[in-house]
Amino acid sequence: MNETIELLNSHRSIRKFKGERLGQATIEELVRAGQAAATSSFLQACTVIQVEDPDKRAQLAECAGGQAYVADAAAFLVFCADMKRHQLCCEMHHAEMQSGFTEQFITATADCALFAQNVAIAAESLGLGIVYIGGLRNRIDRVAELLKLPDLVYPVFGLCLGYPDQDPEVKPRLPLDVVLKKDGYDDSGDLERIRAYDDNVREYYRTRTGGNKEMSWSEQISGMLIKEARPHMLAFLQRQGFLKR
């Protein structure tokens, strides 16, 4: 196993950071690494907002459900799917942009995720810890207001970065046979594989919490998916100019 694959396999979400600051040069280096990610049709449809203002950080932490590390991490970045600059390109060439297509939403969101994962891997290669913050979408209207986001831009997630002040275990992933299929989708053996994986996840939580939590993966997922999943998102995205056709 080479060093890159070893780094990828050692990923943990870090939610407790040391007080050590992160230099601007490092942040810019990480964002440049993000720019090097694959991008659909060369759209480059991701904008990163570095949030430094303590008050804004505190309000974003509140929007994300009170996740204190949003305010406390050495750096906090918000990754936005952005088709606004593409509208500008059309205007530069006196062309009318055809916006609002679902495909544009998908490609911009995918660009954003690829960009962010490059940033995350680059950060971990420097000994930094990271955690993604999807909770910004809990109050996405307020996040958009705080960050002054125009039409054709939406915040996909945030990313906390800093020097780790904890050393959690690597969370076990699904068995390879569940996620790697050959020549078509065959889930005939997945039920038993997931049951075996559930035992691993229970042991992970039991160890991590000193016996205070015992939950399987399937229990966690079923508990999540019987609830509404941010139903406000569709209306917000449509107001921003996405998912109209």
Q: What is the pLDDT along the chain (245 residues), one digit of tens a residue?
A: 899 999 999 999 999 999 999 999 999 999 999 999 999 999 999 999 999 999 999 999 999 999 999 999 999 999 999 999 999 999 999 999 999 999 999 999 999 999 999 999 999 999 999 999 999 999 999 999 999 999 999 999 999 999 999 999 999 999 999 999 999 999 999 999 999 999 999 999 998 888 888 999 999 999 999 999 999 999 999 999 999 99
pTM tops 0.85, yes or no:
yes
Judge residue 60's burial from the number of C-beta atoms within 10 Å of its C-beta, 0-12 exposed, 13-18 middle, 19 or more buried: buried
Q: Count other C-beta atoms under 10 Å from residue 47's C-beta.
A: 18
Q: What pLDDT is attached to residue 173?
A: 98
Q: What pLDDT is attached to residue 222?
A: 97
- CB of 84 within 8 A of CB of 153? yes
One DSSP character per residue, 152-193 reads TEEEEEEEEEE-BS--PPPPPPPPHHHH--SSS---TTHHHH
Identity (one letter) of the amino acid at 191? L
Q: What pLDDT is attached to residue 1?
A: 82
Tokens of 37: 């990610």
Q: What pLDDT is attached to residue 209?
A: 85
DSSP state letter for 17: B
With a CB cutoff of 8 Å and minimum separation 6, the contacts of 133 are 64, 67, 70, 157, 158, 159, 160
What is the C-alpha separation between 201 and 127, in angstroms, rounded? 26
Q: What pLDDT is attached to residue 42?
A: 97
What is the C-alpha separation between 77 and 176, in angstroms, rounded? 32
Q: What pLDDT is attached to residue 100?
A: 97
